[in-house]
Chains A and B, each alone.
Chain A
Amino acid sequence: MTGRSGRGAAALVPYVLILGLTLILAAAPQWVSLPVPKDAVPLTGALFSLDGGEAVPVTLPHRWPDSAGFGPARGTYRMSVDLPASESLLLLLVPAAQHTLSVRLDGLRLWGSDRQSWGEPALASAYVLAVPPTREGPGTFEIVLDRESGAVPGYLSQLYLTGADATAPWGWLWSFASNGTRTAVVGLQTLVVLGITIVWLARRHDPIFAWLFLIGIGSFALSIAGVLPAHVVSVNGQSVLVFALAAFGLMALGLALSIVETPRPPWLKASVLALPLALVAGVGAGVLPPFLAALASSAVAIGGHLAAAIVLFVNALRVREWDRALLAVPFFLTAWYGLRDVGILTGAIDGVLLLSSHIRPLTTIAVLTLLMRRLASSLDQIDGVNETLRQKLSAQEQELSALHLKDRMRMTQAAREDERGRLMRDLHDGLSGHLVSIIALSQAQTANPAAIERAARSALDDLRLVVNSLDLDDSDLILALAGLRERLEPQLRRLGVALDWSMEKLPQVTGVTPGNALSILRILQEAITNALKHGEPSRISVHGATRGDGAATIVIRNAVREPAATDIADDRGHGLRNMARRAETLGGEVGFERGDGCATLTLVLPAHLPES
């Protein structure tokens, strides 16, 4: 349960209300009575005989004398009345009678709410009986109270005769008190027990629901047993239902300890069944006088409920959770009325009606309230937990996306570093070499402008080659090659060499990273340079094609001088080795053929270049 304790005096309000309600209900028997219609005719005098004995005049309300003793007994009241003329139905109101009541008027049975549907006959009940309107003038009522078992004395309150219309404003209350309550209580009890059973089946580990289930089932069983014929549930003239009271005391204590989260003694649950059984056995075997056994059972019931009430109220105050004190109200009242009932039965208190069992509906209501409160607070907790989880989740998602972003930035950074490293290497390999040559050439004793220009142009070519290899899409090989062609065209034109270039038949090659592109461009550049250096051609053709296996080929063909100059073979071999090495890193190869005045260099590239 969630503590919803307020601050200061406001926090005490629920406890004051609970305490006030308890006191009001505890005092209720002193001032609560059924309203009697104004013009009702009270019937007070009667002739009473017990078990067919001598009739003695008595005044109502009347309680059986102690001579009624123990066990089955029948008390008969006769009262002569002068029935008034009435146009409507006459009613005989019986505010309270203990034990099974039946009424005859001049031998004719009166019908009304006398048929007890639920509840123990020993408890006080109200009755509303119809008197036929045809009867007028003198008549004699014979009122019989039948006690089937136990020591509870018969009791008959004052009676009233009244017209049916006169009861109108309070008719519902009479009807409710006479029979409606009992039925309603059983219906309510059935529903609550059903609910508790379902919860308990789903939460077998929760002691609160286990005890609630026990109490529910127990009182339900008691209600059922209450309508059985007395001899079925009696032993030695004593209804066993009284022995069940002890079990309720123990169960109240068990429930209270569970609510305040205190361990229950292991014998407690066992005693719930063992103690009533022991009492029944003791009475059955004649070891225990029934009255004494009933007193013992009542004592345990009263003690258990009182202890439970105290435990709950004190704990609720201590932990500031007022709903824990809810059950303390019916528990205390059960103990209080129980004590009063015992007092009445033993003659210690001057009273007539037994009330403790009437608290059961109040217990049911308290349990229902408790359950609903727990349900509400559980839902609140779930909401809270959901909100917390949602916040945690969103925090984690943010963290994750931040990590992801960082990761991506790191990857981008790494890629940039790689690219920068490659550019540095490329510039170092090509451009810087040429620049160093230019410095050396320009510092030579006999400066050779043509050589300087060549070196500078080579440097620029190399720079353009590097720039050309940047910013390519994955499959932009033809575009990369076009950049080379665009640079070669004016150079070759200056030398009077025609360039026959076609890449239309080149297949799609993927994996064209800037590094791979640069390697391919360097191979081709070197091939062209070699062709110019060694061949002095008037025409160079560069054609792309697809090989049977899907690989790409680029064939560079040019005319060569005849015969082959052996003195340059080494140089050419070095260039070829260089190209072959580059082609190898691309997963490709370089082939060179020479014959018929023609040199052919073939570069083969796989359809997918390896990651560089």
Chain B
Amino acid sequence: MSAAEPAPPDRAPYRIVLTEDDEPVRERLAALLRGWDGGELVAVCATFAESLAAIETHRLDLLITDLKLPDGNGVDAIRTLRRKQPTAEAMVISVLADETTVLDAIAAGASGYLLKDADSIDLIEAITDLMAGRSPISSRIARVLVQRLGAHPREDQPPGTARGALTAREMDILWGIAKGFTYAEIAERLGVSRQTVPVHIRNIYRKLEASNRSEAVFEATRLGLIRL
């Protein structure tokens, strides 16, 4: 991942909503965010309801949310945010950043994740990368994605599916990460800049979100839940 750049903000601070039900963690992350010039914490929520209210009330740039909330799932909050404020980004807080959590969040529209034990540097780097259009992906998650999208990176698939939407380059990158290669190794192999690898990953996230949405719509139409 790129080196942290706690750059002096030559832009307006990111308007951030933080949702986390565990109080010490919430307080710790809130303190880290308050201490960062690049961001402005517009709301700190402990529940799903509070989170939804904050999304309704505030115009925001970034939602940082836990998934398991006492009165709901953070995935739904992300979905609401992406619908109401399409330009806003979402990031998931997780202890392990395991496949289930992260893939659910990506499908809902999240573009990155943050480990709960992140310190200030990690936090700022994660936010900066995400807002700059770069997304992280772990080898395990890449592997699950590759498995879901099909075994071989260059097989043609009909457009409209997630696999069909990914470019050959994006598949190559996903494939390389799933094999355990570093960004640098992949960049060297593909002859691209190391910095563009996470940008490609962001595109993959967006396509997964879109395909997830279209597949959901397709499925709902098929079941007769929605009349087009």
By a CB distance below 8 angstroms, the chain B residues around A464 are 96
A269 at the interface (CB under 8 A from B): no
Verify B182–A485 contact, CB threshold 8 A: yes
Identify the interface centre among B3, B119, B178, B182: most chain A CB within 10 Å of its CB. B182
Identify the interface centre among A467, A486, A504: most chain B CB within 10 Å of its CB. A486
By a CB distance below 8 angstroms, the chain A residues around B178 are 479
Verify A479–B119 contact, CB threshold 8 A: no
Verify A493–B185 contact, CB threshold 8 A: no
Identify the interface centre among B95, B98, B140: most chain A CB within 10 Å of its CB. B140
Determine the residue in chain B with the shortest Cβ distance to A468: B140
By a CB distance below 8 angstroms, the chain A residues around B182 are 482, 485, 501-502
**A486 to B138 alpha-carbon distance, docked (Å):** 7
Given known contacts A467-B96, A479-B140, A482-B139, A490 and B180 CB-to-CB distance under 8 angstroms:
no
Given known contacts A493-B4, A494-B121, A494-B122, A479 and B180 CB-to-CB distance under 8 angstroms:
yes
Q: Which of B174-188 contact A (CB under 8 A)?
A: 177-182, 185
0/1 per residue, B89-127, Cβ < 8 Å to A? 000000110100000000000000001011101100000
Q: Give the shortest distance, in Å, between A482 (CB) and chain B (any CB).
A: 4
By a CB distance below 8 angstroms, the chain B residues around A36 are none
**A343 to B140 alpha-carbon distance, docked (Å):** 112
0/1 per residue, A459-482, Cβ < 8 Å to B? 010011001100100001011111
Q: Give the shortest distance, in Å, between B31 (CB) and chain A (any CB).
A: 14
Given known contacts A464-B96, A479-B139, A489 and B1 CB-to-CB distance under 8 angstroms:
yes
A503 at the interface (CB under 8 A from B): yes
Among candidates A467, A485, A493, A502, residue contacting B98 with C-beta atoms closer than 8 Å: A467
Given known contacts A479-B143, A483-B139, A504 and B3 CB-to-CB distance under 8 angstroms:
no
Verify A478–B180 contact, CB threshold 8 A: yes
Q: Give the shortest distance, in Å, between B224 (CB) and chain A (any CB).
A: 37
Given known contacts A478-B179, A483-B139, A504 and B185 CB-to-CB distance under 8 angstroms:
yes
Verify A460–B117 contact, CB threshold 8 A: yes
**A457 to B139 alpha-carbon distance, docked (Å):** 22
Q: Which of A477-524 contact B (CB under 8 A)?
A: 478-483, 485-486, 489-490, 493-494, 501-504
**A481 to B140 alpha-carbon distance, docked (Å):** 11
Verify B96–A483 contact, CB threshold 8 A: no
By a CB distance below 8 angstroms, the chain A residues around B139 are 479, 482-483, 486
Q: Give the shortest distance, in Å, between B194 (CB) and chain A (any CB).
A: 13
Verify A502–B185 contact, CB threshold 8 A: yes
Verify B185–A482 contact, CB threshold 8 A: no
Q: Give the shortest distance, in Å, between A457 (CB) and chain B (any CB).
A: 7
**A423 to B170 alpha-carbon distance, docked (Å):** 36
By a CB distance below 8 angstroms, the chain B residues around A468 are 140
Identify the interface centre among B4, B139, B178: most chain A CB within 10 Å of its CB. B139
By a CB distance below 8 angstroms, the chain B residues around A471 are 140
By a CB distance below 8 angstroms, the chain B residues around A503 are 180-181
Determine the residue in chain A with the shortest Cβ distance to B189: A504
By a CB distance below 8 angstroms, the chain B residues around A483 are 138-140
By a CB distance below 8 angstroms, the chain B residues around A457 are 117
**A478 to B185 alpha-carbon distance, docked (Å):** 13
Given known contacts A460-B117, A490-B122, A493-B3, A479 and B96 CB-to-CB distance under 8 angstroms:
no
0/1 per residue, A432-464, Cβ < 8 Å to B? 000000000000000000000000110010011
Determine the residue in chain B with the shortest Cβ distance to A485: B182
By a CB distance below 8 angstroms, the chain B residues around A481 are 180
By a CB distance below 8 angstroms, the chain B residues around A478 are 179-181
Verify A493–B180 contact, CB threshold 8 A: no
Determine the residue in chain A with the shortest Cβ distance to B98: A467
By a CB distance below 8 angstroms, the chain A residues around B115 are 490
**A489 to B96 alpha-carbon distance, docked (Å):** 15
Verify A493–B96 contact, CB threshold 8 A: no
Identify the interface centre among A464, A482, A493: most chain B CB within 10 Å of its CB. A482
Q: Give the shortest distance, in Å, between A294 (CB) and chain B (any CB).
A: 99
Q: Give the shortest distance, in Å, between A177 (CB) and chain B (any CB).
A: 88
**A504 to B117 alpha-carbon distance, docked (Å):** 30
**A479 to B118 alpha-carbon distance, docked (Å):** 23
Verify B179–A479 contact, CB threshold 8 A: yes
By a CB distance below 8 angstroms, the chain B residues around A504 are 181, 185
Determine the residue in chain B with the shortest Cβ distance to A486: B138
Identify the interface centre among A456, A464, A471, A490: most chain B CB within 10 Å of its CB. A490
Q: Which of B3-21 contact A (CB under 8 A)?
A: 3-4
**A503 to B139 alpha-carbon distance, docked (Å):** 13
Determine the residue in chain A with the shortest Cβ distance to B121: A494
Verify A494–B179 contact, CB threshold 8 A: no
By a CB distance below 8 angstroms, the chain A residues around B118 are 490
**A482 to B178 alpha-carbon distance, docked (Å):** 9
**A460 to B121 alpha-carbon distance, docked (Å):** 18
By a CB distance below 8 angstroms, the chain B residues around A494 are 119, 121-122
By a CB distance below 8 angstroms, the chain A residues around B140 are 468, 471, 479, 483
**A476 to B142 alpha-carbon distance, docked (Å):** 13
Determine the residue in chain A with the shortest Cβ distance to B126: A490
**A486 to B113 alpha-carbon distance, docked (Å):** 13
Among candidates A456, A463, A493, residue contacting B121 with C-beta atoms closer than 8 Å: A493
**A483 to B115 alpha-carbon distance, docked (Å):** 14
Q: Enumerate the 10 nearest inter-chain pairs by beta-carbon distance, A residue then B residue, closest first.
A: A482-B180, A478-B180, A482-B139, A479-B180, A486-B138, A490-B122, A479-B139, A494-B121, A501-B182, A460-B117
Chain B residues with a Cβ under 8 A of chain A: 1, 3-4, 95-96, 98, 115, 117-119, 121-122, 138-140, 143, 177-182, 185
A-B contact pairs, 13 of them (CB 8 A): A456-B117, A457-B117, A471-B140, A478-B179, A480-B180, A482-B181, A485-B182, A489-B1, A490-B1, A490-B118, A490-B121, A494-B121, A503-B180
Given A478-B180, A482-B182, A490-B122, 19 other A-B contacts at CB below 8 A? A456-B117, A464-B96, A467-B96, A468-B140, A478-B179, A478-B181, A479-B140, A481-B180, A482-B138, A482-B180, A483-B138, A486-B139, A490-B115, A493-B3, A493-B4, A494-B121, A503-B180, A503-B181, A504-B181
